[in-house]
A = this chain, B = another copy of it.
Amino acid sequence: MRATFIYGTKDIRVQDAPDPSLLADTDVIVKVSAACVCGSDLWPYRGVNQVNEPRRMGHEFIGVVTQIGSAVASLKSGDFVVAPWANSCGQCPPCRHGVQVACEHRAPWGGKDENGLPVDGAQGEFVRVPNADGTLVVVPGISDPDEELSKSLLALSDVCGTGYHAAVSARVEPGRSVVVVGDGAVGLSGVLAAKRLGATRIIAMSRHADRAELAKEFGATDIVAERGAEAAQKVRELLGGVLADSVLECVGTAESMEQALACVRPGGSLGFVGVPHGKEGLSLGLLFSKNISVAGGAASTRAYLPELLEDVLDGTINPGLVFDAVMPLEQAAEAYKAMDERKAIKVMLVP
């Protein structure tokens, strides 16, 4: 089959790779109908995270089950499925707590499972899925979604659920005021999540007209283009003299975390989902004196998938709008480039 590899900074190649086969009786094989590039894939692409040897890429995909391990109970051949960005057994204590990202048997896509056996990256034609019962979610009544539906289903794999995790972690609820830091696919999904959770005032920070436009479509009531102290001041003005009840940090840099903290009112909540880069620690003194709560982290999108899938299927939400480009898998390198240069918000790859 064909699959995507990273060789080093800005060096993405689509190459031949072995077709996967069932290696455990809890596995299934999925024929990928669509995958995509994640903002976090750009960390190694940009050289921020080191690449020591060529490795498989991709952790978001949808597709059709083609082979089934003998111990798999909840799936059958031909099922159309969404795979969360982190696989999980569904049985261990963290899984039972709904924190599937901390699954004791998690096997990183593109890496190796706990038995040292290879797990495919999602940016390829087929993927061996370990712990398939715990991991995959079947899309009922769907066998071959059109492009629009495919985009929304694919968004459930990561960005939609990650934005949702930011909003839940920031304790968004009806009547709360919300600021979203980050206008990438996750930030935009955070806006959508805040709207779904009943926030009445949603301030999106963006300097890009197309992203600001989509933020508004997703429910943003205000756009702030300022940065730093000016942005916080603008938020305070918009909210009648107080800072925000809930702030979603959807980037992961030191600057974005500082920006987010600067926008939370005393007693307010920060939900963070950007993979931390460049910031050593959160100031305990600041959290203490302002009573700011901090929650979030890697999102267990598996936990949110059933309810968000329902909303996608009945047309309540359309998270797939974050995909503003579709490319064939063979053009994966161009997809990375377009996202790196912010020419695309998020690119869907079709094998």
Q: Which residue of B lies closest to A275 (CB)?
A: B288
A288 neighbours in B (Cβ, 8 Å): 272, 275-276, 296-298
As a 0/1 sequence over residues 258 to 294 of chain A, the CB contacts with chain B under 8 angstroms (1 = contact) are: 0000000111010010011001111111011111111
- Report Cα–Cα, A211/B17, bound state, in Å: 64
Of the listed stretches A21-29, A93-101, A222-230, A332-340, chain B binds A93-101
Cross-interface CB contact of A283 among B102, B265, B269, B281, cutoff 8 Å? B281
Contacts of A325 in B (CB 8 A): none
**Interface bracket on A:** 35 or more
Given A97-B265, A97-B267, A266-B99: A291 in contact with B300 (beta carbons within 8 A)? yes
Q: Are A265 and B94 interface neighbours, CB within 8 A?
A: yes
Quick check: A287 and B291 within 8 Å, CB to CB?
Answer: no
Q: Known contacts A99-B267, A266-B99, A284-B257; decide if A241 and B289 are in contact (CB<8 Å).
A: no
Within 8 A of B (CB), among A78-110: 93-94, 97-99, 101-102
Q: Would B291 and A298 count as touching, CB distance under 8 A? A: yes
The distance in angstroms between the C-alpha atoms of A295 and B242, with both chains bound, is 20
CA of A55 to CA of B333 in the docked complex: distance in angstroms? Answer: 67
A interface secondary structure, majority = mixed
A246 interface contact, C-beta 8 A: no
Given A102-B291, A284-B257; A266-B97 close (CB under 8 Å): yes
- A267 to B298 Cα, complex, angstroms: 10
Write the nearest CB–CB distance from A163 to chain B, whole angstroms: 16
The yes or no answer to A152 lying at the interface (CB within 8 A) is no
Determine whether A4 belongs to the interface, using a CB cutoff of 8 Å to chain B: no
CA distance A73 to B242 in the complex (A): 27
Q: Scoring A residues 296 to 316 as 1 if CB is less than 8 Å from chain B, else 0, what string do you get? A: 111010000000000000000
CB neighbours (8 Å) of A281 from chain B are 280-284
A123 on the B face (CB < 8 A) = no
Is A169 on the interface with B (CB-CB < 8 A)? yes
Cβ contacts under 8 Å, A169 to chain B: 293
Contact indicator A294/B294 (Cβ below 8 Å): yes
Task: Give CA–CA (A307, B332) in the complex, Å.
Answer: 60
- A-B contact list, 28 entries, CB within 8 Å: A93-B241, A93-B242, A94-B267, A98-B267, A99-B267, A101-B291, A102-B289, A102-B291, A169-B293, A267-B300, A272-B288, A279-B284, A281-B281, A281-B282, A281-B283, A281-B284, A282-B282, A282-B287, A282-B294, A287-B296, A288-B297, A291-B300, A292-B297, A293-B293, A293-B294, A294-B294, A294-B295, A295-B295
User: Which residues of A come within 8 Å of B, CB atoms?
Assistant: 93-94, 97-99, 101-102, 169, 241-242, 257, 265-267, 269, 272, 275-276, 279-285, 287-298, 300
Other A-B pairs, 10, CB within 8 Å; known A169-B293, A289-B297: A93-B242, A272-B288, A276-B284, A276-B285, A280-B281, A281-B284, A282-B287, A287-B294, A291-B297, A294-B294
